[in-house]
Amino acid sequence: MFVVGLTGGIGSGKSTVADLFAAHGVPLVDTDLIAHRITAPHGIAMPQIAAEFGDSFVAADGSLDRARMRTLVFSDEGARKRLEGITHPLIRAETEREQREAQGPYVIVVVPLLVESGNWKTRVNRVLTVDCSVETQIARVMSRNGFSREQVLAIIARQATREARLAAADDIIDNDNAPLDALKAQVDAQHRVYLAQAAA
Ligand code: ADP
């Protein structure tokens, strides 16, 4: 299966763009959803997390105590690495399973941290970056999440830079000041390119 890795910073418009591809019948694999599912009640990462960090990180319903874990990994880089050592291989395996089972001309894997984490680039045929300016990201996330400017800036500071994401891209969707019909036109054109590449 021909695989497109879709990435972009917070608020760049990844979900919006992914939905426009899905409207063409392109199956989506969402690594954020997978990450959430494996740490949901009795998710497949939970036995290892309990063994590594202790039962105090498991909520009453069997899910990850996200608030507690967030506090820990925020201040403890080693703990973050240990957590990722558990979750990343499971996310990778689940992603590959969903890719294999996907039905369609090609598949889009939405990977918010494609540029930041590991060897994603080697596991997709094309990297598609959704691009916009930092100011646009800030405005969108403030309005979508009700965050302050400082909160959004703190999240952006932990992500790859706009330049790094553009450098990693094979293809780019420009979603800065793009009215929705212009965005859709870009997705339609890119979809036709991917159909041809997947068939070749
Ligand atoms: P991401 O998944 O990258 O965080 P989203 O697709 O959720 O980004 O977009 C962030 C917010 O900005 C959402 O509320 C979305 O509706 C809005 N948005 C995205 N693209 C546009 C656009 N071209 N014009 C207007 N609003 C947009």
Q: pLDDT tens across 2-27, in order? A: 999 999 999 999 999 999 999 999 99
Question: Could you tell me which residues come within 8 angstroms of residue 97 by beta carbon, excluding any fewer than 6 positions away?
Answer: none
Q: Which atom, in ligand 1's list, is nearest to the CA of 175?
A: 23
Radius of gyration over alpha carbons of the chain, in Å?
A: 18
Domain span holding position 171: 1-27+104-200
Q: How far is the CA of 19 from the centre of ligand 1 (A)?
A: 11
Residue where one domain finishes, among candidates 86, 101, 116: 101
Q: 75, 101, 127: which is the final residue of a domain? A: 101
Same domain? 143 vs 163: yes
Q: How far is the CA of 82 from the centre of ligand 1 (A)?
A: 32
pTM for the model stands at 0.92
109 with 97, same domain: the answer is no
Q: What are the pocket residues of ligand 1 if the criterion is a CB atom closer than 6 Å to any ligand atom?
A: 8, 10-16, 140, 144, 175, 178, 180, 183
**Cα 15 from chain centre:** 9
pLDDT of residue 178: 85
Q: Can you give 43-100 as a three-state secondary structure string?
A: CCCHHHHHHHHCHHHECCCCCECHHHHHHHHHHCHHHHHHHHHHHHHHHHHHHHHHHH
Please give the number of the atom of ligand 1 that sits closest to the Cα of 177. 23
CA distance 59 to 66: 9
The total domain count for the chain is: 2
| pLDDT tens-digit profile, the chain (200 residues) | 999 999 999 999 999 999 999 999 999 999 999 999 999 998 999 999 999 999 999 999 999 999 999 999 989 999 999 999 999 999 999 999 999 999 999 999 999 989 987 788 889 999 999 999 999 999 999 999 999 999 999 999 999 999 999 999 999 999 998 899 999 999 999 999 999 999 99
CATH number at residue 14: 3.40.50.300
pLDDT of residue 145: 94
Q: Domain check: are 51 and 78 in the same one? A: yes
Residues ≥6 apart with Cβ < 8 Å to 187: 17, 20, 21, 24, 173
